Chain A
């Protein structure tokens, strides 16, 4: 029974993967592809975030820093040294991991709100640094001369999502994953039984920064122009946490579910934002009170609300909710028997 279920799951995932790979060949419109790309980008960011935020329980509010850093590394390597794009993207991931080791080693010594605020601060700090350094192009940013078409970018982001999910699965199944969870459950106890927690935490942080760096690298080839204020966004850091918490942080699939649902909602909202704002403007005083209202603000406010609702009513995310339903179903079945 258990193996059958497992086989079914694997088949389902393989079919899904084949369908996703063949999507660009159906000739669907560019905008639909860009929705998929956004979903893949956030999925791999959230799955990577989950390695440190979900498994070890250290809520990092700074994963956008690695994304932005990766974007800059690959753009700089590509434009200044003429490195091939794939090499630049890979190096972006590696440099992000190195940066994460540098930040994580001191920061992971502190817990809870301290850790959250310190990581949250890395994003504006890197933003300021890249705005004021010479070789990064300052506030103007960098133009990247490259000619990847959208289907290629689609496949690259899909590949990164699959690889990051694979990494999460492998971590879950391995002894390292158990080490990570032991830190979440009780760090002192883990230390007592001989787990080198400081090393393991730094490892988790470095692993969780690798794919965000590579995704950032792909992002700069996708947008062809980056500047500090677009790639280093504090809002993105919060959104990564929101999507993962919404899906559920206990297993690798949670962040993927959360990111897929919420990013799709965000994109759909983007299409219909004109209509929604028109409706809102029928409200008395709306235009007077919010003269600068825009679709971006609408999405952010909605995500803020969702974050609050999730943390109050669904702290274990969709996964926790599904689990509860499953448990109740089982309870009903067993209670019917006796």
Chain B
């Protein structure tokens, strides 16, 4: 029983981390707080669901299709919205802007797919379960977790091993110095936003493997995402993963004691508590 809870918690944590990592990187590199991140996660799941229902495309395959589209969408949003903000107080301005974006995308999702609850229940491999040593590995959690770990690992490799990734890290360490080295800040920012959006597509698909979804569910996701980002420290990928696992375990353990509806209240209280006593997060000096 406890082993099952631990495994589910860790798997859920990985999935939550994959949703939060794009948001976290974007905030760290550009100072852009994209509160529309979860709603774009949701949009990717709706697209995958439509492809599945209408054309029988497997969700994992449609994820491969969505990724480049989302990368382009991220670059596009940077060029037409964020770049226009300029100014020094980009954090607040971008937040207000993305609140507007969130409203639009949520309502358009509602206009297209209706307000009813949807899920990926009829995909066969998500429903399969494997038993190993008394612990059940359900297909949805396991595949979501593997996908999340893959996406986190690939973004880590991208940031540490590739030239563009190094340029992104240079920009977040010292913008002026990176400009002096000839790094094109606009190009780097557009790429960062594209990567963040691509990650958000992965996160959305992983989340909806596990949970059913409806147009306003992204608000709950927003609080999870924010909590994980703050606990893990803004911009730290390992921190995000660790924080995700902590929150995932916590959610599953708390679920034993209180009814499911109250979890959001507990998450909120945790959020306020963390902000008060450790606003820089647990994993950053």
Binding site for B on A (CB under 8 A): 59, 61, 106-107, 109-110, 112-114, 116-118, 120-122, 124-125, 128-129, 131-132, 234-235, 238, 241-242, 245, 289-294, 297, 300-301, 303-308, 311-312, 315
The DSSP consensus for interface residues of chain A is: helix
Instruction: Please tell me if the beta carbons of B279 and A110 are within 8 angstroms of each other in the complex.
Output: yes
Q: Contact partner of A128 among B216, B230, B261, CB < 8 A?
A: B261
Instruction: Please tell me if the beta carbons of B262 and A128 are within 8 angstroms of each other in the complex.
Output: yes
Considering the chains assembled together, what is the distance between the CA atoms of A59 and B92 in angstroms? 8
Question: Is B95 in the interface zone, CB < 8 Å from A?
Answer: yes
Question: Is B271 in the interface zone, CB < 8 Å from A?
Answer: yes
Closest Cβ neighbor of B264 among chain A residues: A128
Instruction: Please tell me if the beta carbons of A304 and B104 are within 8 angstroms of each other in the complex.
Output: yes
Q: Contact partner of A304 among B35, B91, B100, CB < 8 A?
A: B100
Q: Contact partner of A121 among B84, B93, B262, B268, CB < 8 A?
A: B268
B261 to chain A, nearest CB (A): 5
What does the 1/0 interface line of B188-208 toward A look like (CB < 8 Å)?
000000000000000000000
Can you sample 15 A-B contacts with CB below 8 Å? Answer: A107-B275, A110-B276, A112-B92, A113-B95, A117-B226, A128-B264, A289-B112, A290-B111, A290-B112, A292-B113, A300-B103, A303-B103, A304-B104, A308-B100, A312-B81
Q: Contact partner of B219 among A234, A289, A315, CB < 8 A?
A: A234
**Given A305-B100, A311-B93, does the pair A132, B272 have CB atoms closer than 8 Å?**
no
Instruction: Please tell me if the beta carbons of A297 and B107 are within 8 angstroms of each other in the complex.
Output: yes
Closest Cβ neighbor of B273 among chain A residues: A106
Instruction: Please tell me if the beta carbons of B107 and A304 are within 8 angstroms of each other in the complex.
Output: yes
Question: Is B97 in the interface zone, CB < 8 Å from A?
Answer: yes
What does the 1/0 interface line of B97-110 toward A look like (CB < 8 Å)?
10111111001101
Instruction: Please tell me if the beta carbons of A132 and B95 are within 8 angstroms of each other in the complex.
Output: no
Instruction: Please tell me if the beta carbons of B111 and A114 are within 8 angstroms of each other in the complex.
Output: no
Question: 16 more A-B contacts (CB under 8 A) besides A293-B111, A304-B102, A311-B93?
Answer: A59-B95, A107-B275, A112-B33, A118-B275, A121-B223, A128-B264, A128-B265, A291-B112, A292-B114, A300-B107, A305-B104, A306-B100, A308-B81, A308-B104, A312-B81, A312-B84
Task: Chain B residues near A61: list those with CB within 8 A.
Answer: 99
The DSSP consensus for interface residues of chain B is: helix
Task: Chain A residues near B113: list those with CB within 8 A.
Answer: 292
Instruction: Please tell me if the beta carbons of A114 and B230 are within 8 angstroms of each other in the complex.
Output: yes
**Given A121-B268, A131-B261, A308-B100, does the pair A301, B107 have CB atoms closer than 8 Å?**
yes
Binding site for A on B (CB under 8 A): 27, 33, 35, 81, 84-85, 87, 91-93, 95-97, 99-104, 107-108, 110-115, 216, 219-220, 222-223, 226, 230, 259, 261-262, 264-265, 268, 271-272, 275-276, 279
Considering the chains assembled together, what is the distance between the CA atoms of A312 and B85 in angstroms? 6
Task: Chain B residues near A118: list those with CB within 8 A.
Answer: 268, 271-272, 275
Instruction: Please tell me if the beta carbons of A292 and B104 are within 8 angstroms of each other in the complex.
Output: no
Considering the chains assembled together, what is the distance between the CA atoms of A235 and B215 in angstroms? 13
B275 to chain A, nearest CB (A): 5
A130 to chain B, nearest CB (A): 11
Task: Chain B residues near A245: list those with CB within 8 A.
Answer: 96
B79 to chain A, nearest CB (A): 13
Instruction: Please tell me if the beta carbons of B223 and A117 are within 8 angstroms of each other in the complex.
Output: yes
Considering the chains assembled together, what is the distance between the CA atoms of A291 and B116 in angstroms? 13
A103 to chain B, nearest CB (A): 9
Considering the chains assembled together, what is the distance between the CA atoms of A92 and B171 in angstroms? 50
Q: Which 6 A-B pairs have the closest CB atoms?
A: A307-B100, A304-B104, A304-B103, A290-B111, A113-B33, A308-B100
B269 to chain A, nearest CB (A): 9
Task: Chain B residues near A289: list those with CB within 8 A.
Answer: 112
Task: Chain A residues near B265: list those with CB within 8 A.
Answer: 125, 128-129
Task: Chain B residues near A315: list those with CB within 8 A.
Answer: 87, 93
Q: Contact partner of A59 among B96, B222, B223, CB < 8 A?
A: B96
Instruction: Please tell me if the beta carbons of B115 and A292 are within 8 angstroms of each other in the complex.
Output: yes
B227 to chain A, nearest CB (A): 9
Considering the chains assembled together, what is the distance between the CA atoms of A175 and B129 in angstroms? 67
Task: Chain A residues near B95: list those with CB within 8 A.
Answer: 59, 112-113, 116
**Given A118-B271, A300-B103, does the pair A241, B114 have CB atoms closer than 8 Å?**
no
Name the residue among A121, A241, A300 with the largest chain B CB count within 10 angstroms: A121
Considering the chains assembled together, what is the distance between the CA atoms of A242 and B264 in angstroms? 26
Considering the chains assembled together, what is the distance between the CA atoms of A113 and B85 in angstroms? 16
